[in-house]
Amino acid sequence: MRAVDGISYTVNAGETVAIVGESGSGKSVGAMSVLRLIPDPPGRITAGQVLFDGRDLLKLSEEEMRQLRGSQIGMIFQEPMTSLNPVLTIGRQITETLEQHRGATPAEARGRALELLGLVGIADAARRLKQYPHQLSGGMRQRVMIAIALACDPKLIIADEPTTALDVTIQAQILELMKELTQRLNIALIVITHNLGVVARYATRVNVMYAGRIVESGAAAAIYHNPRHPYTIALLRSVPRLDRPRQARLEPVEGQPPDLTQLDAGCAFRPRCRFAIGACATARPSLTLASEEGHFAACFRSADLTKTDQAA
């Protein structure tokens, strides 16, 4: 089974790139592949390149990757309660990274840990360093995860659905914090999410994934105002909007995600697509320029989708 099938995208310093798609589309597997965290077995990276700062990460030794993880590339995992070690204090989990990757003394690492907790908006940092994950709220635990990711001044941070377990108010605080920090520190940020509201507010560019492939890619504003793939249109139409009448019903994406072990030669979205034509059953469309510069879609009919189709 190809969980991720030849995806390709870039992310620049100070930029936020969102990876969007429903569960099983390959978002997290693609991100874990960047850091070579795919467990083998059962998973394997069979081909391709992961170019970071001029080096192909797939050619590095495991020891070289271990030195790079947490040092130059930080990761914020989906659920902080299961990502943080329950038997180690918050302070130890931050200082360990600094001692390992920066050779900091315990005193230097503790000073940096205090600075990081202040940076992510945690008050009374000295007391928090002595506490354990279960003594913190969900929002605080997520802030600790961000602090750990920022500890060694990485060039890239990958955030895998960083706000899924948080309530709406805390979500906004965490996202504002991440956006402000990445811009101030000039860090490249990849945000994996299924929340289109998050994408609209915080992302510079968006990649929409379906069945392991990128089906639409472009600037966030272009994709929201002029989507060129039927799956993107369906996702946007399934989201509540304030400019619609209160009695208007949401339109779910019909059908079920495909079984990746049973894909045929055609477009994977074809069984759920109301725009499908005969060509969709015989070949998979490649990403091609859909409208303005930098806006790509993998659909044979992307040029035919009118404003009425997109908004209906």
Site of tokens 């968006």: 206
Q: What is the pLDDT of residues 117-168, one digit of tens each?
A: 988 888 899 999 999 999 998 888 988 998 999 899 899 999 988 877 677 7
Shared domain for 197 and 70, answered yes or no, is yes
Instruction: Single out the residue in 154, 169, 203 at which a domain terminates.
Output: 203
How many other β-carbons are positioned within 10 Å of the β-carbon of residue 53?
Answer: 10
Per-residue confidence (pLDDT) for residue 35, from 0 to 100: 92
Residue 209 lies in a domain: no
User: Given pLDDT bands bounded at 50, 70 and 90, which one contains residue 200?
Assistant: confident
Per-residue confidence (pLDDT) for residue 309, from 0 to 100: 58
Shared domain for 37 and 173, answered yes or no, is yes
Given the DSSP bridges, would you call strands 205-210 and 16-20 parallel, antiparallel or unpaired? parallel
Q: Look at residue 306 and give its three-state secondary structure.
A: coil
Q: At 18, give phi and psi (nearest 5°).
A: -100, 140
Residue 220 is encoded by which pair of tokens? 């966030």
Shared domain for 150 and 284, answered yes or no, is no
Instruction: Output the furthest CA–CA distance in the chain (Å, rounded).
Output: 67
Residue 222 lies in a domain: no
Residue 277 lies in a domain: yes
Percent of the chain residues past pLDDT 90, beyond the cut: 52
Residue 59 lies in a domain: yes
Q: What is the pLDDT of residues 237-251, one digit of tens each?
A: 888 777 777 777 778
* Domain coverage including residue 124: 16-203
Q: What is the pLDDT of residues 201-232, one digit of tens each?
A: 889 999 999 999 999 999 999 998 899 999 99
Question: By C-alpha distance, which of 3, 56, 60, 61 is closest to 31?
Answer: 3
Task: Compute the distance between CA of residue 33 and CA of residue 14 in angstroms, rounded to an integer.
Answer: 22
Site of tokens 């947490």: 70
Site of tokens 């639409």: 216
Task: Compute the distance between CA of residue 161 and CA of residue 28 in angstroms, rounded to an integer.
Answer: 9
Shared domain for 184 and 256, answered yes or no, is no
Residue predicted with more confidence, 81 or 60: 60
